Amino acid sequence: MKPLTFSILRLLSDNEFHSGETIAQGLGISRTSVSNALRGLQEAGVTVHKVNGRGYRLLDPVQWLQTDLILEHLGEDVAGNFSLEVVDIIGSTSSLLLQKISPGLNSCSTPVHVVAAELQTNGRGRRGRQWHSGLGDGLTFSLLWQFQQGASFLSGLSLAVGVAIIRALESSGIKGASLKWPNDVMFNFCKLAGILIELQGDMFGPTVAVIGVGVNLKLPKSVQARIDQGATDVYAINGELPDRNKLLAALLINLVSALKEFEQHGFAPFMKEWAKYHIFENKPVTLRLPDGSSEEGMVDGVAEDGSLLLRTATGGKRYSGGEITLRRTA
């Protein structure tokens, strides 16, 4: 999508019809340019309704992210701690933040750098998967945080981030979400949000973490068709769309609070809260390991480093990686 397409879509976000001639005159372009700019939007989950004699209208108007509104929702005491960038379209918000990390890392330590995108075209998920989203149908953003500790201290960070997301959702009236080890936010065993953390730094510190987050708000069918697992969205849970700017602010507030706590004490303070929300806690599961093998057992919480504790036929074991699925019982 080109910048011109976004300019037109913003004009169409008032839920009214706009003629091609009116749009063209307002933007100083030709009617052909208007028509060309609005082609192929289905791939981004956008449907433009065209009626002869009336013009164009967005079937589902986009609630655009606005930096000033996000900062307002953050509050005066908090907003100054953030460097917030909202972009129309980008391959990956995390990739952009990774490019901002400079030698020595210190230039990125404060304020907290955040990049949010209206449309992310190449979002990354865990184990090489792609995070699929369309224009305005979710929240896709990344946050950069510098830790003085090394990467080994950051075990369990994705679990703490999951707790922060649950806190933000609940404070925003989105109840009933759960967690799946190690980094998924679920609702009724369907994926609601995902987390991907990428680290750069020295073994003994400091380390920069780029925390990528995707939250499904209202996925169109064209986007859902590209997702290879059960997925859900906030609209399916609550029957209405949240204020995107307000929800993003709530997520950022809770993330920063959790990161500060993690920085001081690691994952230990989050263990009980995380287990409370774990969808597979005390349930029989199959854990598929990175080497292709699998292990069956009963989930018995997580360790202080975020490892999954599994009660198996041969005793208790702990795992730091793998894909967990519910095992059917006879």
**Cα(131)–Cα(194) distance, rounded to whole angstroms?**
8
CATH of 280-326, one of 3.40.1010.20, 3.40.50.150, 2.40.50.100, 2.30.30.100: 2.30.30.100
The distance in angstroms from the start CA to the end CA of the chain is 51
Kindly give, in sequence order, each residue whose CB lies less than 8 Å from that of residue 27, ignoring residues fewer than 6 positions away: 4, 7, 8, 11, 34
pLDDT band (50, 70, 90) for residue 130: low
pLDDT score for 84: 94
Q: Is 156 left (phi over 0), alpha (psi -120 to 50) or beta?
A: left
Whether 221 is catalytic is no
Which residues in 88-105 are b (16+ Cβ under 10 Å) and which e? bbbebbbbbbbeebeeeb
Taking 70 as the threshold, does the pLDDT of residue 312 lie above it?
yes
Please give the model's pTM, rounded to 2 decimal places: 0.90
CATH of 3-58, one of 3.30.2270.10, 1.10.10.10, 3.90.420.10, 1.20.1250.20: 1.10.10.10
pLDDT band (50, 70, 90) for residue 108: very low
pLDDT score for 102: 64
Whether 191 is catalytic is yes
More confident site: 126 or 136: 136
pLDDT band (50, 70, 90) for residue 330: very low
Taking 90 as the threshold, does the pLDDT of residue 46 lie above it?
no
The percentage of the chain sitting over the pLDDT mark of 70, rounded to a whole number, equals 93
E strand or H helix at 184: strand 184-187
Helix (H, G, I), strand (E, B) or coil at 74: helix
Domain 67-274 fold is: BirA Bifunctional Protein; domain 2 (3.30.930)
Active-site residue among 57, 180, 191, 218?
Answer: 191
Domain ranges for the chain, please list them.
3-58, 67-274, 280-326
Size of the chain in residues = 330
Whether 129 is catalytic is no
Asked if the peptide bond before residue 3 counts as cis, ω within 30 degrees of 0, the response is no
pLDDT score for 107: 43
Active-site residue among 10, 31, 126, 288?
Answer: 126
pLDDT score for 125: 63
